[in-house]
Structure 1
Amino acid sequence: MRPRHMLRLCFSMLTLTLLFWLRVLIAQDRLSPAAQNSSLRGYSRISPHRKTTFLDVHCSHCAVVSSSGQMLGAGAGDEIDRTGCVIRMNNAPTRGYEKDVGKRTTMRVVSHTSVPLLVENEQYYFKQSANTTYVFWGPKRNMRQDGEGIIFNVLLKLAVKYRKSNMYVVTESKIKYCDSVFQNETGKNRMKTGAFLSTGFFTMILAMEMCDRITVYGMIDDKYCSRANHSDVPYHYYEQKRLSECRMYKYHESTQRGGHRFITEKAIYAKWATQHNIQFKHPTWKL
């Protein structure tokens, strides 16, 4: 065989080899979507066997349903249920409110302070709603996994009892990441200002990581409570005899210790909506 032909043959074989391995790598990417989205490694499954597994979910369109009294009379239930993934917060119920908030729940983002409320009705949340994925967040002292985390211990017992449940915890590194996001957006250190991030903040972070498009229902903007003609609605649609939403927001915004900066967070979401595919309904935001 002539040297020129030999060179062409070697080149062809090398090209075929490279194409083969390229196809292998592409196939591996398709089979492992979680590896493509490293941000979801901030959510670790609560496993009785202590096996490390990270959240692996992707939705083209998500409905984030607020617990606000704004949802009363919204009539958005059917629209919400038609959305690919429905994300709710804490223990917000659907039964009795289906017309306004829908009945499907794909995922719940739950604060450590709301875990006892879920335990009160554990048969519903962890057995009847076995298809729901739960993401729990909380400070290290409550969520540590060395046997000293009070809330994590409760969740671990539930994971043992309800083997089919899908329960994840926001990792310590992810909590720190969310703190850094808040500081980058506001210029203020969350801990030094005596504030706690809200469940809504963790929910919006997660939604942007797992959803291509987000529709947020029942969330007011940062200027809403300062408008003279704003509606007076309960803080939670399912606790109608409690404090009004705006009174709660104003209290938390100004308290020196232990408050959520709800109004500041809403200003951050407005900024994110200009950078991501996010829209707000009931009420509609003018971005």
Structure 2
Amino acid sequence: FGYVITRDRPSPAVQSTRLRGYMRIIPDMKDQFLDMHCNHCALVSSSGQMLGAGVGEEIDKIRCVIRMNNAPTGGYEKDVGSRTTVRVVSHTSVPLLVKNERYFFKQSADTTYVFWGPDRNMRQDGKGRIFNTLLKIAKKYPKVRIFVVTREKIQYCDNVFQRETGKNRMKTGAYLSTGFFTMILTIEMCGSIHVYGMIDDNYCSQANRSVPYHYYERNRLDECRMYKVHEHTRHGGHRFITEKAIYAKWATRHKMEFTHPSWTLRSRGSI
């Protein structure tokens, strides 16, 4: 999927805190945009780096905790915490949430959900398969705050990727990751950010241990192997390593701290 980049916009580090790129799905379909700001946020990676981190209690003390896709907390509280303020979810992970809908949309009704996906799945004319699913969930659980990333916001994210890398995402066959959308949202809504469990762009060239791609899928692919495969896939891959280099650049002009593992931040030019 892809969108034509039509205009240039400021980098997310200087965006307004008025979050108009995220539209709520509610039964009567009135426009309602995400209105949320936190002085300090914890962005918790789904990486296997979180296993044994032992920072769950620390994370739970932070007012706003942001997680991605279907990353669970149950059974992993000691390492990742138990609270979730915002969960950013890819269109491909929606079936996984629906499969466990009582937990995600009833027991976790105080969580705000932000879903992103290509227009073919998120269109609102009755033909968007994932949007239709989310609309049914919103009607079934009216107390849950469910938002979708607008088409214009996805265009903006494409523009940011090109601005930071000098490469057109579509022409290079890349898909933005859920982490990319999550990082942009987090920068827009948070005064300062503590990122847990995210590796930097140099980690895999120096790593001497194997870590699962997800902390909750221990028998799946190794994280660095996954990153390297995606980075060099000609069509349909996420540019995980390139995205991490972009985050390091943003961290030099925004209040961001990376731990487990820690990052050494330095000024960067073009990526």
Q: Give TM-score, length-normalised by structure 2.
A: 0.91
More contact order relative to length (CA 8 Å, sep ≥ 6): 2
Alpha-carbon distance in 1 for matches of 2:41, 2:120: 32
Q: Distance in 1 between matches of 2:260 and 2:209?
A: 12
Distance 2:263 2:209 in 1: 15
Out of 116, 123, 126, which is 1:137 matched to? 116
Confirm or deny: 8 A CA contact 2:195 2:259 kept in the other structure.
yes
What's 1:10 paired with? none
Matched, 1:240 2:212: no
Structure 2 unaligned residues grouped into runs of 5+: 1-14, 266-271
Q: Does 1:201 align with 2:187?
A: no
1:246-272, CA deviations, whole angstroms, 9 ceiling, x for partnerless residues?
000000000011110000000000000
Matched residue SS, 1:213: strand
Identity %: 74
2:264 is equivalent to residue 286 of structure 1: yes
In the alignment, structure 1 residue 55 sits paired with structure 2 residue 26:
no
Q: Post-superposition shift, 1:202?
A: 0.4
2:228 alignment partner AA = K
Distance between the aligned counterparts of 1:189 and 1:41, measured in 2?
24
Cα pair distance change 1:189/1:243, threshold 3 Å: same
Of 90, 97, 104, 1:125 maps to: 104
1:17 corresponds to which residue?
Answer: none
8 Å contact kept, 1:224–1:230: no
Deviation at 1:38, TM superposition (A): 5.9
Partner of 2:165: 186
State whether structure 2 residue 44 is matched by structure 1 residue 71. Answer: no
The answer to whether the 8 Å contact 2:18/2:35 transfers is no
Q: How does 1:1-287 map to 2 (within 5 A)?
A: 37=16, 39-227=18-206, 229-287=207-265
What's the CA shift for 1:232? 1.0
Using structure 1 for the length normalisation, give the TM-score: 0.86
Residues 47 and 198 of structure 2 are in contact (CA less than 8 Å); yes or no, is this contact kept in structure 1? yes
Can you list the C-alpha shifts for 1:54-100, whole angstroms capped at 9, x where unaligned?
Answer: 00001000000000000000001001000010000000000000000
Q: Distance in 2 between matches of 1:110 and 1:144?
A: 16
Deviation at 1:230, TM superposition (A): 3.3
Following superposition, the deviation at residue 231 of structure 1 comes to: 2.5
Structure 1 residues not aligned, in runs of 5+ = 1-35
In 2, Cα distance between the equivalents of 1:212 and 1:39?
13
| Secondary structure of the structure 1 residue equivalent to 2:52 | coil
The structure with the largest helix share of the pair is 1
**Considering only CA atoms, is the larger Rg found in Structure 1 or Structure 2?**
1
Tell me how many residue pairs correspond in the alignment: 251
Letter in 2 for 1:72: L
- Distance of 2:190 and 2:18 partners within structure 1: 12
Structure 1 residue ranges, 4+ long, deviating more than 2 angstroms after superposition: 36-39
Over residues 106-159 of structure 1, what are the superposed CA-to-partner deviations in whole Å (9 max), with x where a residue is unaligned? 000000000000000000000000000000000000000010100000000000
**Structure 1 residue 39, shift from structure 2 partner:** 4.7
